[in-house]
Structure formats: C-alpha cells, structure tokens
Amino acid sequence: MKDFGRREFVAALAFAPGAVLGANDRVNIGIIGIGGRGRDHIDEYSKISSCRIAAICDVDQAARERGQAMVERLQGQKPTAYTDMRQMFADKSIDAVSIVTPNHWHALATIWALQAGKHVYVEKPACHNIFEGRKMIEAAHKYQRVVQVGMQSRSHPHKQRAVQLLREGAIGQVYMAKGLCFKRRPSIGHKPDSPVPPGVDWDLFLGPAPMRPFNELRFKYNWHWFWDTGNGDIGNQGIHEIDVARWGLGVDLPQAVSSTGGKYVYVDDQETPNTQLASFDYGSKELVFEVRGLVTGSEGGLAQPDKNVIGDLFYGSDGWMAVDAESFQVYKGEKNEKIMDEKFQGPDTWSTVPHMTNFLDAVRANDPTRLTASVETGVHSAVLFQIANISYRLRRRLEFAPESASFRHDDEADRMLTRNYRAPYVVPEHV
C-alpha cells in the first residue's frame, strides 16, 4: 500500500458510517476507473440533476487529468482526484461510488466501499469469480447499503414489457432462451513486455491479480481477453444478453453446464475464446448462449448494426420472440406470423441514465428493493458465464449445485470457484 497505510484505511472505515440523505439532497458520486466506459459514466451522471460527481479515481495520471477536465466542463467544478480508491472511500463527503474498473477489481472495490458506508453502482459483470459474488451479497446485507449492477437492460421499458409478455404466455410455455453476442472483435496481435508508462501505478491496476510485467495488451481495453483480469466476451458484452435470457426464461441457477469453443483463426496473445457455445440445463428449460467474434451472419432477424448481432431469442410452445436493444417482435403459430413489433421509446437505446436514476432513487431512500438489478440479480447472472468458462477450460460438462453455488463431486472444478489473491488485495472470507 504505497499511498495509504493499512492502519489508516481500517480506521477510516471504522468511522465512515455513511450519511443519511434527505429527499432533496444531491448524491455525491465518486467514479472509479476513467477509461472509455468511465468517461461514459461521467457523461451520464452529469445529465442527472439529483447527483454531483464529487470525485474521480484512476491508477493512470493521464486518465485522472482527462476525467477532471471532463467533469469540470460538464458540471462547472473540478472533482477531487484520487490514485487509490481507498482514499476515496475514506472521504466522508462521498455518498456513493460508481465502479468502472476491470472485472478483477469489481468485488473487492465493492466490499471496501460497503465497509466504508458507501452505496455502490458496479459495472457488469458483478464479479470475476463465484466466491467473490457470494462475498458481495454478504457485504451488501451486512452493511445495509444499496448495490446496483450495471446491467441496464433491466431498466429499459421495452425489455421490461417483453419479459412481462413472456410471463403472461405470449408465446405459450417458454422452454428455451438463447442469448447472442456476435460482436466483431479484431485480433489483438502480439506485443512484448515493456516498462510501466510514466504516471501509471501498475501494482494498483493489477490489484487482486498476479503480478506480471507491464504489457500494453494487458492494459486498457484488452484486459478483457486475459483470464487474470477479464472473462472473455461472454463476461463482457455477453453478460447483458445472458441476464436478459435468464430474466425472460424465469430461472435462477442451472443444474448443469456444458461449454465448448476456442480461439479460432487468430494467432495472437489473447487467452479467452473468440468463439464459444454454452448450454445451461434447467431440467424442464434450457438456456443457450453463443459468442462469435469473427465474421458472421444474423440470427432470428435481429438487427446487425456495425457488423454486430446482439440480443435474445425466446422459444415457447406457441411461438417465439426476438429482443434486442431497439425493439422486440413476437411470432405465433405454425405459419410464423408476426403479431407484435414494439420499438424502444427514447432518444438513446444504449443510455445508462434510466439505470443510474433507478440507483440514485434507491440510494436516497436507502432501499435496495427499488433496484432493477440488485447485487443478487447481478451475481446470479454472472455465475452462468463463470461456470461456462470453467466448463470451457476443463473441456467437459459439469454438474452444478445451485444451493451451494459449487460443483457436484468435482474438486478440480471447485478450485476454479475462486483465485489465489495477491496481498494486500484479498477478497476476505469474512466481510
């Protein structure tokens, strides 16, 4: 801990109970991680009058400076800038934090923030592994704070309407959901290790992950494609579609999983697959998810903007439904007749403002039941891609025990439910 000693950190947590907000109080937000998605958070929160971006945090000096300038331009005042998130958590003026770090930091950052009395908006996926998800849920309950996971489809009215119709039997008995993530991903190529760039705290960036030499491909966006820090596209873009599929199918955790695929065509440094197929067995229902990062066609009539096919298909005894970011369609009967075609109503189908507004409303009421994507919802959807990745890496079907969130009689698979943490960045057994 370079900038903030462990003793001071624990003391700060012990005396940071979190303020009670009045009905007209603005929520002071701190944003952690000022990359591309972090700048999206700055832009989106700046549109919401019930909050103020009071602080930003990033391990990269250049990112901090860009973030400060952006907030000052949008809000008229410069936020406090931190290198180490623990310093932000000790700031008693911060009511809530928005975590936009790489995946491997989501759980520990959330737990530290909750221990400091902060409410949390954490980007998807909720966690990097299954153990972390359990600890996040325990911490949210223990510290009685609001935790929203950034799966904004849950706050989109046309998707809420689509799921309601599925519940009402619009296509009969729903027996299968299929999530699609056909998102074009070019090869990342090869890059040698190199010195850490000036202004970057590489130790803080790696955090809970193993220490490795700096490599440009493991930094910024491409961290998604390395197992230390990311989960592949199934846990990147794919978690959105997995969540909608699980939501529409009306299921929680499966009893078995099988996932196959590979990194095809490309010869580069990426570790995660660019093509992956996962099947989740629910007994009377099935959830299927597919990733294709190479050149591909559409499926189910889903839109293909910018070479991407992203959405969900639902199959029932009387018909089927297609859902994407812009609309949903319902088809019925043996003649495949389209009986419904509803469009998203709003200026921006990809906006996170409704989801963030839902979070802020829950924060002001200190009421997690108002959330559209609670920590439990986010963690349970994340479990699906995590067990799919374990099946993929072990190259076999796995039996899963939902009641314990572990595998049945499979020690090798169970060892992959967590990771070896690098001190002092350890997700604790007791939160």
Integer Rg of the chain from CA: 21
Helices 375-394 and 238-249: angle between axes, nearest 10 degrees: 110
Measure the CA–CA gap between 188 and 270, rounded to whole angstroms.
7
The pLDDT, as a whole number, for residue 307 is: 80
Measure the CA–CA gap between 201 and 60, rounded to whole angstroms.
7
The pLDDT, as a whole number, for residue 2 is: 37
The pLDDT, as a whole number, for residue 23 is: 53
Q: Is 138 exposed, middle or buried (0-12, 13-18, 19+ CB in 10 A)?
A: middle
Rama region for 220: left / alpha / beta (φ>0; ψ in -120 to 50; rest)? left
Measure the CA–CA gap between 174 and 164, rounded to whole angstroms.
12
pLDDT by residue for the chain (431 residues), tens digit each? 333 343 333 333 333 444 456 556 899 999 999 999 999 999 999 999 999 999 999 999 999 999 999 999 999 999 999 999 999 999 999 999 999 999 999 999 999 999 999 999 999 999 999 999 999 999 999 999 999 999 999 999 999 999 999 999 999 999 999 999 999 999 999 999 999 999 999 999 999 999 999 999 999 999 999 999 999 999 999 999 999 999 999 999 999 999 999 999 999 999 999 999 999 999 999 999 999 999 999 999 887 777 899 999 999 999 999 999 999 999 999 999 999 999 987 767 779 999 999 999 999 999 999 999 999 999 999 999 999 999 999 999 999 999 999 999 999 999 999 999 999 999 999 99
The pLDDT, as a whole number, for residue 13 is: 39
Measure the CA–CA gap between 25 and 366, rounded to whole angstroms.
13
- Produce one character per residue of 270-291: b if its CB has 16 or more CB atoms within 10 Å, e if not: bebbbbbbbbbbbeebbbbbbb
Strands 119-123 and 147-150 come out as parallel
- List CB contacts of 413: < 8 A, sequence separation 6 or more: 390, 394, 398, 407
Asked if the 6-154+354-373 domain carries CATH number 3.40.50.720, the reply is yes
Measure the CA–CA gap between 155 and 96, rounded to whole angstroms.
20
The pLDDT, as a whole number, for residue 24 is: 60
The ranges of the chain annotated as CATH 3.30.360.10 are: 157-346+381-417
Asked if the 157-346+381-417 domain carries CATH number 1.10.10.60, the reply is no
Q: What six digits make up the tokens of 209? A: 């992950």
Rama region for 50: left / alpha / beta (φ>0; ψ in -120 to 50; rest)? alpha
The pLDDT, as a whole number, for residue 346 is: 72
Residues 231/103, Cβ–Cβ less than 8 Å: yes
The pLDDT, as a whole number, for residue 22 is: 59
Measure the CA–CA gap between 264 and 257, rounded to whole angstroms.
22
Strands 256-262 and 27-32 come out as unpaired
Measure the CA–CA gap between 383 and 232, rounded to whole angstroms.
14
- List CB contacts of 151: < 8 A, sequence separation 6 or more: 124, 239, 240, 243, 355, 373, 377, 378, 381
Measure the CA–CA gap between 65 and 75, rounded to whole angstroms.
15
Strand order across the 119-123 sheet: 80-82, 51-57, 27-32, 96-99, 119-123, 147-150
Q: Residue 96, Cβ neighbours under 10 Å: how many?
A: 25
The ranges of the chain annotated as CATH 3.40.50.720 are: 6-154+354-373
The pTM of this model reads 0.94
Measure the CA–CA gap between 146 and 355, rounded to whole angstroms.
13
The pLDDT, as a whole number, for residue 20 is: 55
**Residues in a beta bridge with 400:** 407
Measure the CA–CA gap between 270 and 32, rounded to whole angstroms.
26
